[in-house]
Amino acid sequence: MGPNLIFSVIYKTIFSWSMKRAHIISIGNELLIGDTVNTNASWIGRFLTEKGFRVDEVLTISDNYESIVASVKWSLEHADLVITTGGLGPTHDDITKKAVADIFDSRMITDEDILAHIKKMFALRGFTFSESNREQAMIPEGCDVLFNNRGTAPGMWFQKNGSFLAVLPGIPNEMKFLMEKRVSEKIDTQFQETGFRAVKYLKTAGVTESSLSDDYIGNLSHFIDNDFEIAYLPNPGGVTIRIACQEKTEEDSDLKISELENYIREKAGSVIYGEGRDFTLSEALGNLLKCRNYTLAAAESCTGGYLSNEITNVSGCSNYMKGGITAYSNEIKAGHLKVSESEIEKYGAVSKQVALAMAYGISEKFGSDIGVSTTGIAGPGGGSPEKPVGTVWMGFRILDQHFAMKAILTKDRLLNKERSSIIVLETIRRVLLNIEPMPYNLKQERA
C-alpha cells in the first residue's frame, strides 16, 4: 500500500442509550496556556463512562472566581454529576474552594483530622509547616470530606437539587486515588439506578481503521440496539475496538458483550493481538516469545532505541530480550554489525540491503533467534525524490526467514519512530503465528 499511516484522532461510535449525565470541569490557567497537558479530563471521562455515565461536557477554565462559580452552577443544573479538578493548593491562585463554598452558602471551617494529616506529612518529609498549608485544612461546612491519603488537599463532595459535585485536586495521582477510592463509593451509593456497564477492549495492530471496519469486520448494525456502543479508537500503534453494553445486571451485560466479541474475533481475529484497555503489543509479543522460548535482539538506526524501549517496557523481558545496538552512523553499522561498506556506498544506509545486513548482524552478534533492524529517514529533513521523508526499511531474521520491508510513513519524526517500531513488533508476531498478510499489507522482500 506504500502506507501513509496517519490515523485520525476522531473515532466512529454508535451510541444511543439513556444514561446519567456527567460534566468535567478542569480549573487552571496552566491548562489554558499549554504549560500543563490536561490528562485529568481524559482519565476522568474514561472512568465515568465505565461507571455508566454519559459525559456531556468537558470544560477547561481559568483560576478566576467568576468563571468557577458560573461554570459549576451551570453544570449542576444540567448534569447529574459534576467533577472539578484543580485550584485546591496553598497558593493565592487556588480559589476553587472559596468559589464552591459560596455556591453552597457555606462558611469555612477547619477539619482537625485533615490538619493533623497535613502536619504529619510535612514532618515525615522534613518540610516546614506554614499558615498557607493550614488553609488547606479548611473546608466548606456541610460537605462530605473525601480524605486524601496521597496529598495535602482534601477532596469534597456536595449535593444540590438532586445533582452531585466532587471537588478534587489537580495533581493526577491524587485525583486518581480519590476517584477510585472515594468518589467511586459515592457513585455506587447515589447512582444505583445506572445499572451495570460492561466494557471490552480488543487491541489490533497493523491495520488501518477503515480497513478493520470495512474489510475485516463489516456491518455490525444487526448487533446494535439502545444498550450497545461500539467504537473504533485509532492511535499510532493500531486501532482499539471498544465494545460497551449497559444492562440491569452484570450477567446480562456480559452475555451481550460476549456475543459481539465472538463475532468480531471470528472476522478479525488475525489482527487482534490481545484485550484490555492498557494491554500492549509489546506484552503480547513478549508472551509469545516466552512461550516459544525464543530470544530477540534489535539493531536500530532511525528509531534510535525506541524499539528496544518498547520491548523492555514489559516486566520479565529479560527472558527473551538479548540486547540491542543503536547503529546510527555508518561506522557503527559496518564495525559492529558487519554491514558491507560497499553496500552502504552502493545502495545507501536507507536500503533493503542494509536493513537485511543489520538484522542478520545483530542476531549473529547476540546469538538470538530473532534479529530485527530499522533504518530510515525519520524527518523532517533529509529526504530526496527517491527516498522521501518517512521512508523506513525494516529488516528481519526470524529463525530461518530473512527478509526486509519498506514503509512510507509521515513527515513527523517521533511518529515515524513509534510506527516503525510497532510494525516491527507486529511483523514478528505475525510471522511466528503464520498470519498473513504482513502489517498494512507491506511486501516482504528477500535478500
Torsion angles phi and psi, residue 279, rounded to 5: -70, 135
Which position has the grid cell 490515523? 7
Residue predicted with more confidence, 262 or 229: 262
Distance CA 184, CA 422 (A): 35
Residue 298 corresponds to which amino acid?
A
The per-residue pLDDT for 97 is: 94
CATH number for the segment(s) 18-194: 3.40.980.10
Which of 309, 253, 316, 267 is CA-nearest to residue 290? Answer: 316
Instruction: State the pairing for strand pair 20-27/81-85.
Output: parallel
Which of 68, 154, 153, 159 is CA-nearest to residue 106? Answer: 159
Distances in Å between the alpha carbon of 166 and those of 71, 108, 146, 178? 14, 17, 9, 10
The per-residue pLDDT for 194 is: 57
Which of 9-23, 52-66, 192-206, 309-323 is the least confident region? Answer: 9-23
Residue pair 241/269 in contact (Cβ under 8 Å)? The answer is no
Out of 55-64, 89-98, 185-194, 229-238, the most confident range is 55-64
Torsion angles phi and psi, residue 336, rounded to 5: -105, -20
For the chain, the average pLDDT equals 91
pLDDT interval class at 127 (50, 70, 90) = confident
Mean pLDDT value of segment 43-49: 93
Which of 178-182, 249-253, 365-369 is the least confident region? Answer: 249-253
Lookup: cell for 353: 540491503
Which position has the grid cell 492498557? 278
pLDDT interval class at 15 (50, 70, 90) = very low
Of the options 3.60.15.10, 3.30.1780.10, 3.40.190.10, 3.30.70.2860, the CATH number for the domain spanning 196-275:
3.30.70.2860
pLDDT digits (tens, 9 = 90+) for 53-78: 889 999 999 999 999 999 999 999 99
The per-residue pLDDT for 126 is: 86
Residue 371 has pLDDT above 90, yes or no: yes
The per-residue pLDDT for 5 is: 39
Mean pLDDT value of segment 25-49: 94
Q: Report domain extents, the chain.
A: 18-194, 196-275, 281-446
The per-residue pLDDT for 274 is: 97
Lookup: cell for 312: 523492555
The per-residue pLDDT for 47 is: 93
What is the DSSP code (8-state) at residue 111? -
The per-residue pLDDT for 12 is: 32
Residue 302 corresponds to which amino acid?
C
Q: 281-446: what CATH class?
A: alpha beta
> What are 28's strand-pairing partners?
none
Torsion angles phi and psi, residue 157, rounded to 5: -125, 125
Mean pLDDT value of segment 10-15: 34
